[in-house]
Amino acid sequence: MATLVDGRLQPDSVDAVLEAMVNDFEAQAGENLPPGVASVLRSVYRPIAERLVEAQQTAALVLDSAQIDHAEDEALDLLTALIGVSRRKAVKAEGTVTLSRASAASQDYPIPAGAEVQTSGNDPVVFVTAESATLSTGETSVDVAVKARTGGVRGNVGPGAISVLRSTISGVEEVTNASETTGGRDRENDTELRERAKDNLSSGSRASASALISALMDDDDVTSVTIFINDLNVANGDGQPGHSFELVVEAPDEAAVLNRLAQAIADTKAAGDTSVGGYYGTAKTGTATLVNGQTETINFSLPTGVQIYVDIDMTVTEEYAGNDAVRDSIVRYIGGVLSTGNTDDGRLSVGSDVIYGSVEYAIRDVTGVYDINTLEVGTSASPTGTTNISITNGEKATANATDGSITFTTSVVTP
C-alpha cells in the first residue's frame, strides 16, 4: 500500500490496490475458489480501489500542505504566515506620459485621474493616470504620472512604448512616454516564497525585518511600515541603542490600534530582540499579551507629522467651487484634515516628498480655477518655497483645511 518517501506519501495505483484486494480474497478462500471468480472480483472491487486511491491522494495533499518544501498556492501562504512571511503581491509599474496636441490649447482642458492609455499591439499594457492634471491655455502638452492597471513586469515598458489613447480625453490628441516605466514586479511564485521563508527560519528564532513588516501590514488600519535596524553593539549616530529595531507604522493613533500593533510585533519578534521608538518617529507603546497571560509593553513609533503650509494667489471664474474645495483637493493629495473635519489619507506615504507640481495640479483640478499667479509652500506659516518639500523616512506630510494653514488671494476674471 501507500508508502512514505522523504516525508511524502506516495499513493498506489488503482491497479495495484485492486490486485492486492483480489490476492487477499484468494488467500482467504484457498484452493476451493471456483474458476472465473477472480474476474468477477476485479469488477466488484474496482470502484472500491478507486475510492481508496482517492483517499491516499487526499492524505498526500494534506501531508504536503504541512511541509514548507511541498506546500503550494494557498496552502503555502497559510504555512509561511505562521512564521510571519507573506507572499509578495504583484507591483504595478509607474512612470510619466506626455499628453499633447498639435496646436496650443485655446482653453484649459482638465485631465481626469483614471484616464487610460496603452501600448500598441494585440496584447497592450494599459496604464491609468494616477492624478488629475490640466492642459493649460496656450500649452501644447502636459506631463502626467501613470500607473499600470495590473501588476507585473509587463508594465516595465521602454521609452515611446505608450502611444495609444485608450480613453477619449478632451483637448488631447496624442500620448507618449519619454522615459521607461519602472517598478513593475510579478507576484511572488511558490519557489521564491518557499526560499524566502526558509531564509527566515535559518536565522533561528530571530524575526526578520520582512517578517515584522509583513505582520504589521496584515492589519487593515496600517497604511505603510518602515523599519530602522541597528545591528551594532553601540548606539548609532541617531541615538538608537545597539541591537534594536524601530518600526515606524502609519496607522491611527488609537489605543485599540496601538495594542493590536504591539501584539503583532510581540508575536513575531524574538524574545531577545529590543523594540524601541522615538528615534525616527513619534514614540508610542502598546500592550501585548503572551500565551501564558503575561503582558509586555512593546515600543514602536508613528510617523512624525510635518505640517504643510500653502499660500496661493490665483484668478478664478464665476464657476469657482470655493476655497474649501481647493483646500480639500490639496488635502486629498497630501493627506490630513478636510474642511468637514474628516480625515483623508492622501496619496503620500511615510517618507514621501511633497511635490510642488502636484500641489499645483491639485489646485488647478478644482472647478473655476482659471490661473495660478503665485504658489508658495513650506513647513511654517507664510511660506516662500517654490520647490519640492523634502520629507524624511520617519516623517509624514500632513495638510489641514480647517486651521488657516492654506491661505488665498483670489481675483475674479471673465475668460
DSSP string for 244-311? EEEEEEES---HHHHHHHHHHHHHHS-TTPEEE-SSSSEEEEEEEE-TTS-EEEEEEEEPEEEE-EEE
Q: Does the pLDDT at position 415 exceed 80?
A: no
Spatial distance between the Cα atoms of 145 and 99, rounded to a whole number of angstroms: 11
- Do residues 292 and 326 both lie within one domain? no
In this prediction, residues 330-342 reach a mean pLDDT of 92
| pLDDT tier for residue 397 given thresholds of 50, 70 and 90 | very high
Calculate what percentage of the chain has a pLDDT beyond 70.
95
**Could you tell me the three cell numbers for 293?**
497571560
Q: Which residue has the higher pLDDT, 28 or 367?
A: 367
- Do residues 122 and 156 both lie within one domain? yes
| pLDDT tier for residue 2 given thresholds of 50, 70 and 90 | low
Residue 340 included in any domain: yes
Q: What is the extent of the structural domain holding 225?
A: 203-302
Spatial distance between the Cα atoms of 207 and 84, rounded to a whole number of angstroms: 8
Residue 186 included in any domain: no
Spatial distance between the Cα atoms of 2 and 9, rounded to a whole number of angstroms: 7
Residue 77 included in any domain: no
pLDDT in tens, 113-130: 899 999 999 999 999 998
What local confidence, expressed as pLDDT, does residue 259 receive? Answer: 96
- Do residues 316 and 396 both lie within one domain? yes
Q: Does the pLDDT at position 57 exceed 60?
A: yes
Residue 362 included in any domain: yes
What local confidence, expressed as pLDDT, does residue 205 receive? Answer: 44
Q: Does the pLDDT at position 233 exceed 90?
A: no
Residue 274 included in any domain: yes
Spatial distance between the Cα atoms of 213 and 269, rounded to a whole number of angstroms: 11
DSSP string for 104-131? --SS-EEE-TT-EEEESSSSPPEEEESS
Spatial distance between the Cα atoms of 206 and 214, rounded to a whole number of angstroms: 15
Q: Does the pLDDT at position 1 exceed 70?
A: no
pLDDT in tens, 289-325: 987 889 999 999 999 999 999 999 999 999 999 999 9
- Do residues 211 and 257 both lie within one domain? yes
Burial 45-60 (b: 16+ CB within 10 A, else e): beeebeebbeebeeeb
> Which whole-number Å values give the CA distances from 93 to 90, 127, 143, in the listed order?
10, 9, 17
- Do residues 169 and 232 both lie within one domain? no
- Do residues 241 and 324 both lie within one domain? no
Element (H, E) at 52: helix 37-65
- One-letter amino acid for residue 223 of the chain: T
In this prediction, residues 45-54 reach a mean pLDDT of 88
Residue 46 included in any domain: yes
Question: Looking up cell 478636510, which residue turns up?
Answer: 338
Residue 70 included in any domain: no
- Do residues 125 and 171 both lie within one domain? yes
What local confidence, expressed as pLDDT, does residue 204 receive? Answer: 46
- Do residues 41 and 116 both lie within one domain? no
- Do residues 260 and 295 both lie within one domain? yes
Number of domains, the chain: 4
- Do residues 327 and 365 both lie within one domain? yes
Return the minimum-mean-pLDDT range out of 28-37, 326-335, 376-385.
28-37
In this prediction, residues 141-157 reach a mean pLDDT of 94
Burial 99-110 (b: 16+ CB within 10 A, else e): bbbeeebeebbe
Q: What are phi and psi of 37, to 5 degrees?
A: -65, -35
- Do residues 109 and 47 both lie within one domain? no
Q: Show the CA angle centred on residue 107, arms to residues 102 and 108, nearest 5°.
A: 95
- Do residues 309 and 292 both lie within one domain? no
Residue 234 included in any domain: yes
pLDDT in tens, 166-225: 989 999 999 999 999 998 989 889 888 888 777 666 544 456 787 888 889 888 888 888
